[in-house]
Amino acid sequence: MREFGWLLLPVIAFAFLDWASTWKGWKKRLYVAKPAVVILLILWTYLATGWHDGMLWFGIGLLFSLAGDVFLMLGPSFFMPGMAAFVFTQISYLIGFNQTPIEFTFPVATAAVIVGLAASGIFRIIRPGIEAKFKKRRMLVPFFIYFAVLTLMTLSALLTLMRPDWTQPSAALAAVGGVLFLTSDSLLSYNRFVKSFPHASTWVHLTYHLGQLGIIIGAVLHFTG
């Protein structure tokens, strides 16, 4: 990992360029910066781990993330393909976090209840906006599926804190990353379907990139530690 750690520097640089581009409205720079962040993460994880020993699922998740990023940059008509790509991202990360079973304990159950209640509360807020946008109740199904998978991924990231095989640094990064990923998609949905707010894209991209970095660096630390 240390041998290729320098690749994280351009990842961070392009992430900052992406955030500045969304803040300033620099569309051409955004088209370069946003996919560059995930492309470099793909390159770094492959060079650092070879996608062995469980990292394969996180590598696959990054590939779907890249596809989702590209779709979402193409405009509103590509929103559903983008969301579909990110469904597979969440499934990949979900599998990656759960390659070994976790013991069912009271803290695990408590975490599941808290995360479930938080996610259901978010979905209740955005649901009326989705219904108003699409005029068809069946359009709620793909959104419900996405939020369900995203919730399970976030819970799985948090539960690394209770896994004895995960070190505290790697688990803390993964847990924070999972929460930030959920935060990013919640902000995106709120801005798109409920009420727009200033510099929404910047906050969505900021939490998204930090979420990805937390999940991926945490996973790399775990599988190479």
> Which sequence spans correspond to the domains of the chain?
2-224
Regions of the chain where pLDDT drops below 50: none
What pLDDT does 1 receive? Answer: 57
**What is the distance of C-alpha 225 from the center of its chain?**
23
What pLDDT does 6 receive? Answer: 80
Q: Which residues have CB under 8 Å from 197's CB, separation 6+?
A: 190, 191
What pLDDT does 53 receive? Answer: 85
What pLDDT does 32 receive? Answer: 95
Helices (DSSP H) in the chain: which residue ranges? 8-24, 27-49, 55-73, 79-97, 106-134, 140-159, 168-189, 200-224
What pLDDT does 217 receive? Answer: 96
Nearest to 180 by CA among 201, 148, 203: 203
pTM: 0.94
What pLDDT does 69 receive? Answer: 96
- The CA-based angle 207-211-212, given to 5 degrees, is 125
What pLDDT does 191 receive? Answer: 95
